[in-house]
Chains A and B, each alone.
Chain A
Amino acid sequence: MPDKIKFGFLLTGGCAGCEMALVDMADKLVDALEHLEVAFWAPTVADVKYKDLEDMEDNALDLAFVDGMIRLSEHEHMARVLRAKSKVLVAFGACASLGGIPGMANVHGKKELFEQAYKNTFSTDNPDDVYPQGKYVLDGKYELTLPEFQDKVRCLQDIVDVDYYVGGCPPHHDFVAQAVRMIVAGDLPPKGSWLTSGKAVCDVCDRNPANEGLDRELGVGAKRTVDGKPEESGCILQHGYLCFGPVTQGDCGASCPKVNMPCRGCGGPIPGIRDYGGRLVSALGSVMGDDGVEQMLDKYPDLTKLVYRYSLPAGLMNKQDRK
């Protein structure tokens, strides 16, 4: 990487939390900014327009991050442009890397989603069935357009070649600082890799019974956090609350278990996992007893959205949509 890295950041279908994670580096960001020249950061931070990016030479940017999934034609278009204009492209955060929270929409069809959003929600009053249109001609002469809403949520790698993946929703700012340091120093794994320690959340969690030399016992039942609170110490899974630590990357330092919330998998799958939800049910099937699985099937009406909360578009079942 050159001394002053020309940097771009694009928000596609996301909440911009990952951009906040970069900003949350606070004083460390000031150090990082010595090496970064922000040439593009849209639509959130810099007053550089889409057209300015399109006008840049290919590979003009040394490094670019994308946060957000791909669902609108605008997302797809700008992601492709950014790929052409960047030497290194990073899928930053769970949405870009795995599809993220909006990825759960893939359980529903486009028609169902539109009907729910524009008609069926209890506070919506839409007697004339007005839905967004891709094109509208105003006053007989002004053609107004909206980006096209595509059939499925996709992740960045379904559109363009991705050089590095960073998990987290958002990535923990300590980890972001570390990742930025690695990038600035040029200390990077092979292209196509995740930037990660590779350790599971359990490995870095201080509630792990192995820290006391104890074995983890089978979890008893499957309790929901809406019904109760896990004890403050000891393994959350062992207390009978579903925690996805065993199959999730722990670059967050087990932030959620630290505050007595079970892990929900935003860090992405640990290396070697092809389908997050598939491997998760495999792990849970091993560590839970029969009563645990019974209760899981019983208490969670939307099991798919629980296990694939961040990772549905990246799963094997969505594979056929790949470029």
Chain B
Amino acid sequence: MSYTPNIVGFACQWCTYAGADLAGNLRAQYPSTVKLIRVPCSGRVEPEYVIEALSRGADGVFIGGCHFGDCHYKEGNYKTDRRMRLLSKLLSDMGIEPKRFRWDWISGAEGRRFAEVMEEFTEQLKALGPNPLRGE
């Protein structure tokens, strides 16, 4: 069954969002499945936002931040990692396949990598099928 996954993406303005911008400049193609939300830091993303997106039918949620050691606010990305590792464990109990949620560290110079990750995530979600909560 083929469908177009709907991915909600949070991208930190210093790294991943810049990386996404670079993908555009390089004409590195990636699917238009991801809707990017720019945040000042991946640490700004509350686990509640992820839960809300998934509960409202998003097929996948992505968070992109700076590599460890490169966070503009020093520790934001470490906090993201700790929070999201905890959140991930809760998702299956709440009826969501954990593969629908991923976070990654993509720098502003990694335009091609951003495109690759979006491509890969989209393919994984196509295989998983649409979120059962979609269309509620």
Binding site for B on A (CB under 8 A): 107, 273-275, 277-279, 281-282, 284-286, 288, 290, 293, 296-297, 303-305, 307-308, 315-317, 319-320
Contacts and interface: CB of A to CB of B under 8 A. Distances in A.
Contact of B55 (A285, A288, A317): A317
B87 to A, nearest CB: 5
Given A281-B87, A304-B90, A320-B133, A290 B82 contact: yes
Contacts of B84: 285
Contacts of B85: 293, 297
A316 B90 CA distance: 13
Contacts of B90: 277, 281, 303-304, 307-308
B51 A279 contact: no
Most buried by B among A277, A296, A316: A316
A317 B96 CA distance: 9
Given A278-B46, A307-B90, A320-B133, A315 B51 contact: yes
Interface string B2-37: 000000000000000000000000000000000000
A288 B51 CA distance: 21
A282 B94 CA distance: 17
Nearest to A304: B93
A288 B82 contact: yes
14 contacts: A277-B90, A279-B47, A285-B82, A285-B84, A286-B79, A297-B85, A297-B86, A303-B90, A304-B89, A307-B86, A317-B54, A317-B55, A320-B55, A320-B136
Contacts of B46: 278-279, 282
B72 interface: no
A281 B81 CA distance: 11
Q: Tell me the dominant secondary structure on chain B's binding face.
A: helix
Contact of B51 (A284, A296, A316): A316
A276 B127 CA distance: 32
A316 B82 CA distance: 21
Nearest to A293: B82
A262 to B, nearest CB: 17
Contacts of A315: 51, 94
Nearest to A289: B82
Interface string B67-101: 00000000000111011111101100111100000
Contacts of B48: 273-275, 278-279, 282, 316
A278 B82 contact: no
Contact of A275 (B51, B86, B93): B51
Nearest to A285: B83
Given A279-B46, A304-B93, A285 B86 contact: yes
